[in-house]
Amino acid sequence: MRVALGIEYAGTPFTGWQSQADGRGVQDAVERALAAIAGAPVRVVAAGRTDAGVHATLQVAHFDAASVRPVTAWVRGTNSKLPPEVAVLWAEPVDAAFHARFAATARHYTYLLANRPVRPAVLGRRVGWYHRPLDVSAMREGASALVGTHDFTAFRAALCQARSPVKTLACADVRAFGDCIRFDFSANAFLHHMIRNIVGALIRVGAGKAPPAWIGQLLAGRDRTRGAATFAADGLYFTGADYDAAWHLPATRRPLALPWAQAR
C-alpha cells in the first residue's frame, strides 16, 4: 500500500532532508521510524528537498509498505520512534499513482529574518538575522521583478542539479511583523539555494547597498557571481506543496504562524 504523510521538522540538528551515509538526514530519521512500524525497510519520497538547517511546517511525502497498518499507527506509532525535532502530522492511504514530488504543482517557502541590533536568542536557529535597519518597501519593490517565468541562474547554487534554471515564481512577498521581516515565496519548483540567494540579494537592497532595480538586472544577467552571498539557512521554512484535489489529501499547506508579532 502507498501512504502519503504530512511531516513537520526543525532542521537544525539535521544535514537536510536527503538521506545521508551517516544517517543524519531527516529522511533517515523518518525511514527508521516507519520501518519499526512496518516491520520492514521503508523508502520515503518528499515533495521538496531541504538543506541542512532548513525547517518544515508541512513536508509532504509518500512511502510504500507491504504491511497494512491503521492510520493511527503511521502517525502515533511513527512519532513514538522519531526524535523530538520531527513529527508526522497526518497519514493518508493514496492511489499507487500518487507521487509526492512529481504530483506537486507548486511549492511554498517562508523565510523569517530578525531585523534588530542584537542577535536573537529565544528564536536562535529558527530565524535569520540582520543587525542594521532594512527598508522593507525597497525589498518588496525589488522582489516584484522576480514574479513570473524566468531563468533564475543568477540565484542558482553552483552544484544545483536541476535540469533547467527556468522556473515560474507566483509569489515573492516581503512584509514586516514587529522586528521580524517575513519573505514568502511560491513557485512550481525551486533551484538549489534559490531562496537563500534571493533573500541575500533583497537584504542588500534593504540595506541601501543596491537599488530595487538591481534585482531585475541581476536576474536578467544570469550571472551568479554578481549576486549576494547565500544567506543563512536558519530562517527558512518549507510550508507545503499543492496537489490536485483528485488525490483527496488532507491539508498540504501549513503557513507559518506569527502569534508573537504585530504587523506594521
CA angle (74 as vertex; 73, 80 as ends), nearest 5: 75
CB 58 within 8 A of CB 239: yes
By annotation, the residues acting in catalysis are 51
Dmax (CA) of the chain = 58
Cell of 59: 513536508
Do residues 126 and 112 touch, judged by C-beta distance below 8 A?
yes
What's the CA gap between 152 and 63, in Å, rounded?
Answer: 32
109 SS3 class = strand
Distances in Å between the alpha carbon of 201 and those of 29, 124, 132, 225?
Answer: 34, 22, 15, 12
Cα 219 versus chain centre, distance: 21
Asked if 207 and 142 count as a contact pair (C-beta separation under 8 A), the reply is no
